[in-house]
Amino acid sequence: MTWHMDGGLATRYADGDLDATLAASVEAHLLACAQCRGLLAPQVPRARLDRVWDEIAEAVDSPVPGPFERLLRLVGVRDHTARLLAAAYSLHLSWISAGALVLLFAVLAARETTRWGLVGFLALAPIVPVAGVGLAYGRGADPAYEIGLAAPYSAFKVMLMRAAAVLVTSALPALVIGFALLGQNWTVAAWLLPALALTSLSLVLSRWFEPAHCALAVSILWLAGIAGTNLREPSLAMFSTVGQLGYLTITVVSGVLLVARRKEFS
């Protein structure tokens, strides 16, 4: 060691008045020299130390979020939105993959008779997002629901965000499975509007009933329709143009109702 800090230098360093090069060489020296560290310690204002400490704490214990949250952030979702989504059980990877597996097995099981496979797939594909949305919010599904109710963040917004996320995370695998296993035909996407109609309808109903119950009721209604039109042979009657227009109408009307009555959801 050829030099040591004097009081003046220590003060200027503590106040942050040194230029970057000089500060860096002071720091390099400080790492090796206990004597100068002792000289510096009383000079550093408490507030500055606290700030530095906070920064270190932030870097060290800001925990690495779970895999789903990281994935969301990767695709550009803001960190607090990602946390609100990660709290929903039906947005966990286990749930999402379970939904995809159900569809996959349904298609594979009916593979030999392609037409049944298609009907089965189209019938089940909307149920996956409806069930997911039904388990994404509300008293029964959200363990901290009561705490959330007393918080200012809009419960309506949480509901919509989670519903949208569930729709996306269940639609993507369903689209892949459909196009990969059932052919490059737009018919394999005919479940999309029914899925939108059923989920938005169950959102509207959840103003009065537990979301999971709404999802169940809507799903039963849907499956009854499918069963009714497929009594004898596989039929795509539920997916006709008229049907699709009907689903579109239900979606739009539900959407309008949701927006108009959003106050009643918190």
Interacting residue ranges for another protein, rule: CB under 8 A: 54, 57-58, 61-63, 65-66, 79-80, 83-84, 86-87, 92, 142-153, 158
Residue 180 contact partner, candidates Zn ion, another protein, none, CB within 5 to 8 A by sort of partner: none
132 in Cβ contact with 166 (< 8 Å):
yes
d(CA 164, CA 220): 22
Neighbours of 258 (CB within 10 A): 20
Residue 63 contact partner, candidates another protein, Zn ion, none, CB within 5 to 8 A by sort of partner: another protein
Residue 147 contact partner, candidates Zn ion, another protein, none, CB within 5 to 8 A by sort of partner: another protein
Residue 62 contact partner, candidates Zn ion, another protein, none, CB within 5 to 8 A by sort of partner: another protein
Site for Zn ion in 25-64 (CB under 5 A): 33, 35-36
Size of the site for Zn ion (CB under 5 A): 4
Residue 161 contact partner, candidates another protein, Zn ion, none, CB within 5 to 8 A by sort of partner: none
CB closer to another protein out of 143 and 228: 143
CB closer to another protein out of 29 and 262: 262
Least gap, CB of 97 to another protein (angstroms): 16
Binding to Zn ion by residue 4, rule CB under 5 A? yes
Least gap, CB of 57 to another protein (angstroms): 6
CB closer to another protein out of 46 and 232: 46
CA 64 to chain centre: 17
CB closer to another protein out of 34 and 64: 64
**Residue 120 burial by Cβ neighbours in a 10 Å radius (0-12, 13-18, 19+):** buried
Pinpoint the alpha helices (H) of the chain: 7-15, 20-32, 34-40, 46-61, 67-74, 79-86, 93-109, 114-124, 127-134, 145-149, 155-182, 192-205, 211-229, 241-260
Closest CA to 68 of 51, 43, 90: 90
Instruction: Please enumerate in sequence order all residues whose Cβ is within 8 A of that of 137, keeping only pairs 6 or more positions apart, or say none.
Output: 88, 145, 155, 158, 159, 162, 163, 206, 211
30 in Cβ contact with 37 (< 8 Å):
yes
Closest CA to 122 of 185, 164, 168: 185
CB closer to another protein out of 66 and 255: 66
CB closer to Zn ion out of 35 and 185: 35
Residue 195 contact partner, candidates another protein, Zn ion, none, CB within 5 to 8 A by sort of partner: none
Least gap, CB of 39 to Zn ion (angstroms): 8
Return residues touching Zn ion (CB under 5 A). 4, 33, 35-36
